[in-house]
Amino acid sequence: MMQPIRSALVSVYYKDRLEPLIRVLAQHGVQLYSTGGTQKFIEELGVPVTAVESLTGFPEVFGGRVKTLHPTVFGGILHRRHEATDVAQAAEHQIPPIDLVIVDLYPFEETVASGAAEADVIEKIDIGGISLLRAAAKNYRDVLVVSSRDQYEAVTTLLTEKQGATDLADRRDYAAAAFEATSHYDTHIFQYLSQGTTQHGAALKVSQKPATPLRYGENPHQQGTFYGDLSALFDQLHGKQLSYNNLVDVDAAVLLMQEFQADGPAACAILKHTNACGVAQAGSLHEAYLNALACDPVSAFGGVIIVNQVVDAATAGELNKLFFEVLIAPDFAPDALPVLQSKKNRILLRQKPVAFPQKQIKTLLNGIIEQDFDKVVEGAHEFRTVTESAPTAEEVAALEFALKICKHTKSNTIVLARAGQLLASGVGQTSRVDALRQAIEKAKAFGFDLQGAVMASDAFFPFPDCVEIAGEAGIRAVVQPGGSIKDQDSIAAANQLGMAMVLTGVRHFKH
pLDDT digits (tens, 9 = 90+) for 445-488: 999 999 999 999 999 999 999 999 999 999 999 999 999 999 99
Is residue 248 within 8 Å of 224, Cβ to Cβ?
Answer: no
Which one of 188, 205, 273, 343 is the catalytic residue?
273
d(CA 402, CA 412): 15
For 104-221, where are the E strands, in sequence order? 144-146, 165-166, 211-213
d(CA 284, CA 491): 38
Give buried/exposed letters for 253-268 (b at 16+ CB in 10 A, else e). Answer: bbbbbebbeeeebbbb
Average pLDDT over the chain, rounded to an integer: 93
Question: How high is the pLDDT of residue 198?
Answer: 54
> Which of 121-130, 137-146, 359-368: highest mean pLDDT?
137-146
Quick one: CA dihedral 341, 339, 336, 292, positive or negative?
Answer: positive
Q: Where are the alpha helices (DSSP H) in 280-354?
A: 285-295, 297-300, 313-319, 337-340
Q: Answer yes or no: pTM beyond 0.95.
A: no
> Phi and psi for 432 in degrees, rounded to 5?
-65, -30
Q: Is 138 a catalytic residue?
A: yes
Quick one: CA dihedral 437, 438, 439, 440, positive or negative?
Answer: positive
Exposure of 426 by Cβ count < 10 A (0-12 exposed, 13-18 middle, 19+ buried)? Answer: buried
Over 90: is that where the pLDDT of 209 sits?
no
Is residue 59 within 8 Å of 53, Cβ to Cβ?
Answer: yes
Which one of 15, 28, 138, 162 is the catalytic residue?
138
Q: Is 273 a catalytic residue?
A: yes
Residue 332: which residues within 8 A CB-CB, separation 6 or more? Answer: 237, 310, 311, 316, 340, 348, 350
Query: How confident is residue 105, by pLDDT bands cut at 50, 70 and 90?
Result: very high
Q: How does pLDDT run across 236-257, given as a tens digit for each residue?
A: 999 999 999 999 999 999 999 9
> Phi and psi for 504 in degrees, rounded to 5?
-110, -25
Is residue 204 within 8 Å of 367, Cβ to Cβ?
Answer: no
Is residue 348 within 8 Å of 237, Cβ to Cβ?
Answer: yes
